[in-house]
Amino acid sequence: NRIWFIVPAAGTGSRMQADRPKQYLSLAGRPVIEHTLQRLTQALPDAAVVLCLNPDDPWWPDISTPDCELHLAEGGKERCDSVLNGLNLLSGKAADNDWILVHDVARPCVRTDDIRNLVSSLQDDETGGILALPVADTMKRAADQNPCVSRIEKTVDRNQMWHALTPQMFRYGLLKSCLERALAEGVQITDEASAVEWGGYQPALIKGQRDNLKITHPDDLWFAELFLNAQQA
């Protein structure tokens, strides 16, 4: 089966408070997106990459692309819409049982070993699964959704809690049908696994690493640079 990466890269990154989307900010001397694409193609050189971009993105033309089969899809309103556009672009190209690895462009520190481990752990799996990280802190469920101050409703057993990372790896046919149906039903989808779970499947959790952080806030660039340096040391 062929492997295709889908890289959603159409977010505005408003939480970064920068003059451009976060994938175009400089990390260790190169735009974040160049690190991310390089990691993916180093991990799986035969995989093709589908990059989901805003149609009027003025920064993309200045990016150096790695030597790989690259397709461009249009970004959508939400992350899941961008991913679905990427899946639609592969219609007629990908077979139903080809593997899709969705990876956030904002995770430039993902280790090539972890990507390969995800693929080798799941290649015979019926459903697929995700890189994830067991939670270290004690987890509290809040009584409401106020992000600044709230009350504890209850403590959740952290022994069964994981952070969802990317890549998230699913069969093309399964992911496309779950995502289409979940979006048509108006289900809130924040990652691919949540669509597949909603479809009645139980995706695998494969342990990843703390340094696979998603650049979200301004100081994350600083952490990412530390992680990249530590990985090379």
Should residue 151 be labelled a site residue for ligand C5P when binding is judged by CB under 6 A? no
Residue 15 or residue 116: which is nearer to ligand C5P going by CB?
15
Should residue 49 be labelled a site residue for ligand C5P when binding is judged by CB under 6 A? no
The footprint of ligand C5P on this chain (CB under 6 A) covers a number of residues equal to: 16
Tokens (6 digits) for 74: 């249009």
Should residue 31 be labelled a site residue for ligand C5P when binding is judged by CB under 6 A? no
Distance separating alpha carbons of residues 213 and 106, to the nearest angstrom: 8
Cα radius of gyration (the chain): 18
Ranges within 188-217 binding ligand C5P (CB under 6 A): 214, 216
Should residue 52 be labelled a site residue for ligand C5P when binding is judged by CB under 6 A? yes
Residue 122 or residue 165: which is nearer to ligand C5P going by CB?
165
Q: How far is the CB of 92 from ligand C5P (least distance, A)?
A: 22
Q: How far is the CB of 125 from ligand C5P (least distance, A)?
A: 24
Should residue 89 be labelled a site residue for ligand C5P when binding is judged by CB under 6 A? no
Q: How far is the CB of 217 from ligand C5P (least distance, A)?
A: 10
Task: Choose the stretch contacting ligand C5P; rule: CB under 6 A; options: 8-16, 66-74, 152-160, 222-230.
Answer: 8-16
Q: How far is the CB of 74 from ligand C5P (least distance, A)?
A: 10
Residue 76 or residue 167: which is nearer to ligand C5P going by CB?
76
Should residue 8 be labelled a site residue for ligand C5P when binding is judged by CB under 6 A? yes
Closest CA to 104 of 163, 176, 18: 163
Should residue 77 be labelled a site residue for ligand C5P when binding is judged by CB under 6 A? yes
Ranges within 106-145 binding ligand C5P (CB under 6 A): 106
HEC string of the chain equals CCEEEEEECCCCCHHHCCCCCHHHCEECCEEHHHHHHHHHHHHCCCCEEEEEECCCCCCHHHCCCCCCCEEEEECCCCHHHHHHHHHHHCCCCCCCCCEEEECCCCCCCCCHHHHHHHHHHHCCCCCEEEEEEECCCCEEEECCCCCCCCCEEEEECHHHCEEEEEEEEEEHHHHHHHHHHHHHCCCCCCCHHHHHHHCCCCCEEEECCCCCCCCCCCCHHHHHHHHHHHHHC
Residues near ligand C5P (CB under 6 A) are 8-11, 52, 75-79, 82, 104-106, 214, 216
